[in-house]
Amino acid sequence: MADKDLDTVTLISEKSELKVPPLYKIVLLNDDFTPMDFVVEVLKMFFAMNEEQAIQVMLKVHTEGAAVCGVYPSDIANTKVNQVVEFARSNQHPLQCIMEEN
Ligand code: TYC
């Protein structure tokens, strides 16, 4: 029994410590062609905003050129960017959406 205890070694290396996964900001970019009401719909559909929040963020993009519409881990951020761009293209709008490491 004592021998068994001595044989038990717990290895904890610095590398095995859990790290917080990196987060990414999703940034919506302004353009001169995408209708304002379409952008508001996108913000409600893909970023769970209510009408008031969506209008505020859309107007920030419109007046300042860009705005953050959410912060997510990489897989979710990637999926959302692709969904937004695909939805915009399928409605013939040039809306652009990018992700940036936080
Ligand atoms: N600038 C656009 C217009 O005047 C509206 C717009 C807002 C477009 C936000 C894109 O991400 C955007 N119709």
pLDDT tens for the chain, residues 1 to 102 = 444 444 544 444 556 688 888 999 999 999 999 999 999 999 999 999 999 999 999 999 999 999 999 999 999 999 999 999 999 999 999 999 999 998
Residue from 26, 28, 32, 34 whose mutation best tests the ligand 1 pocket (most atoms within 8 A of CB): 34
pLDDT of the residue at 19 = 87
Ordered domains of the chain (ranges, CATH): 32-101 (3.30.1390.10)
* CB of 84 sitting under 6 A from ligand 1: no
Three-state SS at 46: helix
Round to whole Å and give the CA distance between 79 and 91: 18
pLDDT of the residue at 36 = 98
pLDDT of the residue at 1 = 40
* CB of 94 sitting under 6 A from ligand 1: no
Q: What is the pTM of this model?
A: 0.85
Residue from 27, 30, 33 whose mutation best tests the ligand 1 pocket (most atoms within 8 A of CB): 30
Which residue type sits at 51? E
pLDDT of the residue at 17 = 81
* CB of 36 sitting under 6 A from ligand 1: yes
